[in-house]
């Protein structure tokens, strides 16, 4: 099904839509891998099903049916633990090739309604439909149409949330699961958030939730009512961000996923859980160098730096920050990443780390404004290092700060 053969202009973002209306949609395929498996194994409908990346002792649950979740099985859980919780479940190994066709069809459906589609994974995406309402109706109507097309054309269900921004729409779509649609009118963000448990607010993990509980904060409304100075005293700069998000305030625009890659990242998994701050910082330094080299080779810069940490056994968290101007050089990427790391690591008791990752997202064409007194030598150095690595490999040239990381492999 195609709509008017539209050719959308490139380079649009939701910043072009300045009026405050509920035009941002988050669409999420329900238990995507499981739903796809049930299409070819209908006899498993209504039963606990677990789809994992490997079924051996080192396998990890990718997703599971709602019947399995009732037994405590969750994504990112070791397969062995899932078997203990729900031994009667059907355990299936992920078939990514099979899922990819449905994922492509899903994203193609979304692009029929707006050029502003920002993929957030194989099974979810954000849309801003402010420029499409005259063609297709308001955002809730578009979301309903998309969900029906997913059901008719792919054979699975999707949940959707509608609001004025990505944050609230994400929480709304989660609230509607499975197979639901939740719309939050402009101005109702804080009221919608208020009664919800604090863990439903993105960026609040178990450690942050425990710290907030120590302050008597158990709902998002409690957080919204808390004094900002008290939150900043406990959480630093993150305290103000937590307060703003509890009110539903979030200004990151929906960015079109067309064109070049929208993110560049590197991850390192340690053979043994790594307890050393020096080693972890050195790994981040190396990742920053390689991300910067990739940015240079693509002539891109990024608006947001993201940190990923995984603690044993499989507890994963991410933190991100968007500085005042796009970052492109390794020093700038590393400075942002290490600041995120120090805060997140301290919040989690400086525990040993199983995996550390660094990414730069929301990419755009490279065009850096020099700071006062700065020359172009750093840019020339970055370009030279990128050229050497492209020709001879990532390990051809390293900074001294990376030396402690030499015994680890990056993937």
pLDDT in tens, 4-46: 334 333 333 444 334 578 999 999 999 999 999 999 999 999 9
With both helix axes pointing from N to C terminus, report the angle between 330-347 and 377-392 in degrees, rounded to the nearest 10: 80
Each residue of 50-102: pLDDT tens digit? 998 778 766 778 899 999 999 999 887 888 889 999 999 999 998 888 888 89
pLDDT class of 130 with cuts at 50, 70, 90: very high
Kindly state whether residue 256 falls inside one of the protein's structural domains: no
Is 53 inside a domain boundary? yes
Q: What is the mean pLDDT of residues 191-211?
A: 90
3-state secondary structure string across 84-131: HHCCCCEEEECCHHHHHHHHHHHHHHHHCCCCCEEEEECCEEEEECCC
The CATH code of the domain that includes 397 is 3.30.1490.100
Tell me: pLDDT of 177 over 80. yes
80 and 128 belong to one structural domain: no
Predicted local distance difference test score (pLDDT) of residue 30: 95
- Going by C-alpha positions, the residue among 15, 24, 320, 321 that lies closest to residue 167 is 24
Count of CA atoms in the C-beta half-sphere (13 A) of 6: 18
Instruction: Tell me what pLDDT residue 55 has.
Output: 82
Q: Kindly state whether residues 267 and 383 are assigned to the same domain.
A: yes
Q: Which of 37, 118, 124, 274 is catalytic?
A: 124
Total structural domains in the chain?
4
| Residue 14 in tokens | 């939701």
Domain boundary among 246, 272, 293: 246
pTM equals: 0.64
Return the DSSP state at 8. P
* Residue 58 sits in the same domain as residue 155: no
Contact 125, 110 (CB under 8 A): yes
Mean pLDDT of 367-379: 48
State the average pLDDT for the chain.
Answer: 83
Where does the pLDDT of residue 409 fall: very low under 50, low under 70, confident under 90, or very high at 90 and above?
very low
Instruction: Check whether residue 337 and residue 353 sit in a common domain.
Output: yes
Which of residues 349 and 96 earns the better pLDDT score?
349
> Active-site residue 124, yes or no?
yes
411 has pLDDT over 70: no
Same-domain status, 319 and 233: no
pLDDT tens profile 274-306: 898 988 999 899 889 988 887 887 778 898 999
Shared-domain flag, residues 306 and 388: yes
> Is residue 143 scored above 70 in pLDDT?
yes
In a domain, 144, yes or no: yes
Residues 321 and 377 in one domain: yes
d(CA 69, CA 407): 39
| Cα 65 from Cα 63, distance rounded (Å) | 7
* Residue 358 belongs to some domain of the structure: yes
- pLDDT at residue 183 greater than cutoff 80: yes
162-183 mean pLDDT: 96
Q: At which of 221, 246, 271 does a domain end?
A: 246
For residue 117, the model assigns a pLDDT of 92
Q: What is the pLDDT of residue 53?
A: 77
Residues 124 and 205 in one domain: no
Q: Does one domain contain both 22 and 160?
A: yes
Burial environment of residue 2 by CB neighbours within 10 A (0 to 12, 13 to 18, 19 or more): exposed
């Amino acid at each position: 099904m195609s709509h008017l053969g539209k050719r959308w202009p490139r380079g649009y973002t939701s910043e072009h839509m300045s009026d405050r209306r509920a035009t941002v949609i988050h669409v999420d395929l329900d238990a995507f891998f499981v739903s796809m498996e049930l299409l070819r194994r209908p006899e498993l409908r209504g039963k606990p099903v677990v789809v994992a990346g490997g079924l051996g002792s080192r396998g990890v649950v990718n997703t599971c049916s709602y019947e399995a979740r009732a037994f405590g099985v969750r994504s990112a859980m070791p397969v062995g633990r899932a078997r203990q919780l729900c031994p009667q479940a059907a355990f299936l190994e992920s078939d990514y090739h099979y899922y990819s066709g449905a994922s492509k069809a899903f994203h193609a459906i979304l692009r029929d309604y707006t050029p502003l589609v920002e993929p957030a994974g194989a099974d979810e995406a954000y849309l801003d439909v402010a420029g499409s309402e005259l063609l297709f109706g308001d955002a809730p109507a578009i979301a309903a149409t998309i969900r029906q097309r997913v059901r008719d054309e792919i054979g699975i269900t999707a949940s959707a949330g509608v609001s004025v921004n990505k944050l609230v729409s994400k929480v709304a779509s989660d609230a509607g699961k499975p197979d639901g649609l939740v719309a939050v009118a402009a101005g109702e963000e804080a009221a919608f958030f208020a009664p919800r448990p604090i863990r439903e607010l993105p960026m609040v993990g178990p450690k942050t939730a425990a710290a907030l509980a120590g302050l008597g904060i158990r709902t998002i409304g409690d957080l919204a009512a808390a004094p900002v100075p008290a939150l900043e005293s406990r959480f630093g700069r993150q305290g103000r961000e937590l307060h703003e998000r509890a009110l539903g305030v979030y200004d990151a625009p929906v960015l079109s996923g067309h064109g070049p890659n929208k993110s560049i990242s590197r991850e390192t998994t340690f053979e043994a859980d790594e307890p050393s701050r020096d080693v972890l910082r050195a790994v981040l330094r190396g990742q920053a160098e390689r991300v910067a080299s990739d940015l240079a080779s693509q002539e891109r810069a990024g608006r947001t730096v993201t940190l990923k940490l995984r603690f044993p056994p499989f507890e994963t968290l991410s933190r991100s920050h968007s500085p005042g101007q796009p970052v492109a050089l390794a020093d700038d990427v590393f400075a942002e990443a290490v600041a995120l790391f120090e805060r997140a690591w301290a919040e989690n008791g400086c525990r040993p780390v199983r995996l550390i990752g660094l990414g730069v997202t929301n990419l755009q064409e490279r065009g850096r404004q020099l700071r006062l007194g700065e020359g172009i030598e750093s840019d020339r150095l970055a370009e030279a290092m990128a050229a050497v690595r492209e020709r001879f490999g990532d390990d051809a040239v390293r900074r001294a700060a990376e030396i402690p990381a030499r015994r680890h492999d990056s993937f």
